[in-house]
Amino acid sequence: MKKLLFLIPLLIGCSSPKEKSDYEKLLEYEGNYEYIDQTTLDIVASELDTTLYAIVDNAKYPLKHIALDSFTNIQGVPVVFERDKSNRVKGYTTDGLKFKLITSEIEKMEMFPRKELFHNPDKYVYHKPKKTTDGLETGSLEDEFKNPEPIIEMVKETIKGKFPDVHSILIYKNNKLVLEEYFYSYDENTPHQLRSATKPFIGGILGIAVDKGLIKSEKEKLLPYFNSIYPEIANLDDRSKDITIENFLMYRHGMDCENDNPESKGNEQAMMQSKDWVEYTLDLPMVAAPGKSSSYCTGCALTLGSLVEIATDENIEDFAQKNLFRPLGISNYAWTFEPNQASGTHFSQMYITPRDLIKLATLFKDGGKWKGKQIISESWIDKTFDTDEGDYGYLWEHKYFIVDGQKYNSYLASGNGGQKINIWPELDMITVFMGGNYNSYALYGKSTPPNQMIPMYILKAGEKPAHKNTYKK
């Protein structure tokens, strides 16, 4: 995502608890402040770990205290607060820019997983998820797992902070929602940012456009769709002319584009400095023939979203609303698709509730059907999941775990911060995690909590046979 001045997260528990007086000192800096691109941010002191955080789009990023009114983010950029003649904080300077305090009156973000149980996690009592009008059936852990105790222990460990900034955990087993837990004041009605977990659903939306004949086939060449919009793409060679839509769906583009490589010209940070992210992607130099090997590239998904708009002659949000979200009964969501610098604060990502993510994932698990209605063709789902282990299908990743010598296959939609939607076809199960551990691997060399929690607890709960047939590749 775009490099912002404060956007470096802290894993709770990395710093030693300090005296209460230090927390009280941090309260002096709390407030709503000016921020870049005519936006604002909140600065909040956490009683949990005695750390000052900047809050941007409901995501928290720490400031490390150095001396007096001086802090840094983990990138080492100084953040210095300024005071007025009455010794009250009036603003801050960072990276050569000055920002004013707007107001000290703010609604503070909840810093505890569950404050009422934080010191007494054993008082947690499991309850079967409530059934609502959203179409999801509910059940109990005891009925769907041989040994649900590891899952219950996982919730308790989350409550006491072992797995910080996990905002929600949902498990859908044998076509029943059997676990639904929220933390940090999130609940079932809160649409959560998906970050890159948006991308696999763009793949599904494109599939609907193919099903409707608006795109003849994903085997078609990609660039002709963009010739009239970008007639002067500079880096065209014979290899780029051979790129197909499917090459982008499988990240087998052949371009100099690799998100995790800072030297790559197409890495996400470099792309987001450009005015038009799709044009920037299509203009990348080629380093290999398309179709040979995969390289994860954000520009691919954004380009495919633009392709949907070209082929359907309407905004992708409107096309998706009519052909995907409305048929699933999904209305409590937000999505503004702008693959350019206008998207610098929201990154063209979807915001969807975890329960609705279960419904979207169920659509893929069940061969494109929801409640008996075919929304995405089964053939598109077949091709989506026809991929090698560890590789990418139609923007989904084939992810597997090995626990006690047994392999568990899944298909994954993943986003920065711990957004993990896993479909487990052999277990007839879907797991959904939402979280706020942004950039944790890049900063600390640690994976986000779901990558630990899934094998440590969920996959050790023991499978019970599925009660209904489920789609399996």
For 24-66, the pLDDT digits (tens) are 999 999 999 999 888 999 999 999 999 999 998 888 888 999 9
Strands (E), 84-183: 89-94, 97-103, 166-173, 176-182
Q: Say if strands 70-72 and 350-352 run parallel, antiparallel, or are unpaired.
A: unpaired
For 59-68, the pLDDT digits (tens) are 888 899 999 9
Token look-up 């999130």 returns: 186
State the pLDDT confidence band at 439, using cuts at 50, 70 and 90: confident
d(CA 41, CA 350): 21
d(CA 124, CA 155): 8
Average pLDDT, rounded, for the chain:
92
The pLDDT assigned to 344 comes to 77
* Cα–Cα distances in angstroms (integers) from residue 145 to residues 74, 174, 352, 354, 384, in the given order: 42, 10, 27, 21, 28
CATH number of 197-324, picked from 3.40.710.10, 3.40.50.720, 3.40.950.10, 3.30.1330.10: 3.40.710.10
Torsion of CA 236, 239, 240, 242, to 10 degrees: 130
H or E, element range at 352: strand 350-352
Q: Thinking of the domain 20-103, which architecture would CATH place it in?
A: Beta Barrel (2.40)
Token look-up 């010794």 returns: 87
Strands (E), 257-300: none
Asked whether the predicted pLDDT for residue 436 surpasses 70, the reply is yes
Question: CATH 2.40.128.50 spans which residues of the chain?
Answer: 20-103
What does the pLDDT average to over 301-326?
98
- Model pTM above 0.85: yes
For the chain, state the CA radius of gyration: 23
Question: CATH 3.40.710.10 spans which residues of the chain?
Answer: 197-324
For 358-367, the pLDDT digits (tens) are 999 999 999 9
d(CA 192, CA 181): 14
User: In percent, how much of the chain has pLDDT > 90?
Assistant: 83
